[in-house]
Amino acid sequence: MSPDPSSDGYFRHQLAEVETTSIGARTRVWAFAHVLPGAVIGADCNICDHVFVESDVIVGDRVTVKCGVQLWNGIRLHDDVFVGPNATFTNDAFPRSQDHSEALLETIVETGASIGANATILPGVRIGRSAMVGAGTVVVDDVPANAVVVGNPGRITGYVGTGDAPRIGGQTTTPPSDDPMGRRGVRVITAPVYHDLRGMLTVTETDSLPFVPARFFTVYGVPSKEVRGEHAHRVCDQLLTCIHGSVRVLWDDGVHRGEVELNDPSRSLLLPAKVWGSQYQFVDGAVVHVAASHPYDADDYIRTYDEFLAECGPDTSA
């Protein structure tokens, strides 16, 4: 049976039960799906067999909801979201039968994100723009924009769109060049290393840096599951050095995106202003030392990726 628009401007399979009136044009609702009154579904969506949609649900445009999925009260799917088959949402952190005393939690899946087959999404999380939740993953924390999460519990294993990123470290045989990356001048800066029997020494003269450090900070004691950074600065440049252990750093200038693994005190990553960054996979007791070009200024932080894209994204001048 091919999907033909019904008289309402969207397609409804004859075995579907649709009780809402808010469904966008060209959206298709398939057999044995059930949409309760009040639900809002955008245009060009695909609501597959055996899907169930409660009333307080908002679905954007061009969203795909595969078979066996339920969208409970409080679920918000922005445009272009993909929800794989049997992926399971929740809205109650501590469910007890017949007990509705706890406030239901809202779950937000941002534009372009995908949720893999049979994944489980705990209540109250936000899944960032274009993030990718792997099949079978149990998501227990917020997922940053563009992050790839897998496992039970779900952990970040990478970021989408960074396939060409250099990896610095012993596992790779080709050392990365120090060429600038992207449109803002993200680059690896290599300091000389003096090595003798007494150990190693790496030196950086301040005036060889692209900025004069006004502030230093050291990050340590980070559980390996944590993600730090996750913001951009408006005017502050940063130089990150992993002084012990290793860490992976995502950089994203709004147009290009890459990952660098830092694991050598002599190699630092320059993150200029207007570059979104985040650090993850802190391993082996990673300690990250950061030199910053400006003193602390709360107003210099761009704290959400959406805000970052608005200020520094593809449509803005570099």
Single residue of 6, 20, 86, 157 touching its own copies by CB under 8 A: 86
User: Is there binding between residue 63 and its own copies (CB under 8 A)?
Assistant: yes
List Cα–Cα distances, 88 to 13, 100, 198, 309, in angstroms.
23, 20, 57, 30
User: Is there binding between residue 70 and its own copies (CB under 8 A)?
Assistant: yes
Between CA 131 and CA 81 the distance in angstroms is 10
Evaluate whether 24 touches 5 at the Cβ level (below 8 Å). Answer: no
Select which of 231, 244, 289, 294 is catalytic: 231
User: Is there binding between residue 66 and its own copies (CB under 8 A)?
Assistant: yes
Residues 168-187 that bind its own copies (CB under 8 A): none
Nearer to its own copies, 137 or 261 (CB): 137
Whose tokens are 């909801």? That residue is 65
List Cα–Cα distances, 243 to 98, 108, 150, 227, 266, in angstroms.
53, 37, 28, 18, 8
Nearer to its own copies, 94 or 174 (CB): 94
DSSP symbols for 9-31 = SSEE-TT-EE--SEE-TT-EE-T
The site that binds its own copies (CB under 8 A) totals a number of residues, namely: 90
Closest distance of CB 318 from its own copies, Å: 27
Nearer to its own copies, 28 or 184 (CB): 28
Residues 200-259 that bind its own copies (CB under 8 A): 200-207, 213-223, 226-228, 241, 243-244
Closest distance of CB 50 from its own copies, Å: 5
Nearer to its own copies, 117 or 186 (CB): 117
Residues 251-290 that bind its own copies (CB under 8 A): 265-266, 282, 285, 287, 289
Give the number of C-alpha atoms closer than 13 A to the C-alpha of residue 85, restricted to the C-beta side.
Answer: 4
231 as an active site residue: the answer is yes
Residues 108-137 that bind its own copies (CB under 8 A): 112, 114, 116-118, 120, 122, 132, 135-136
Residues 9-28 that bind its own copies (CB under 8 A): 15, 17, 19
Nearer to its own copies, 42 or 258 (CB): 42
Please state whether 245 falls in left (phi above 0), alpha (psi between -120 and 50) or beta. Answer: left
Q: What angle do CA 235, 239, 241 make, to 5 degrees?
A: 155
- Strand 238-252 with 301-302, pairing: unpaired
Q: What are the residue numbers of the active site?
A: 231
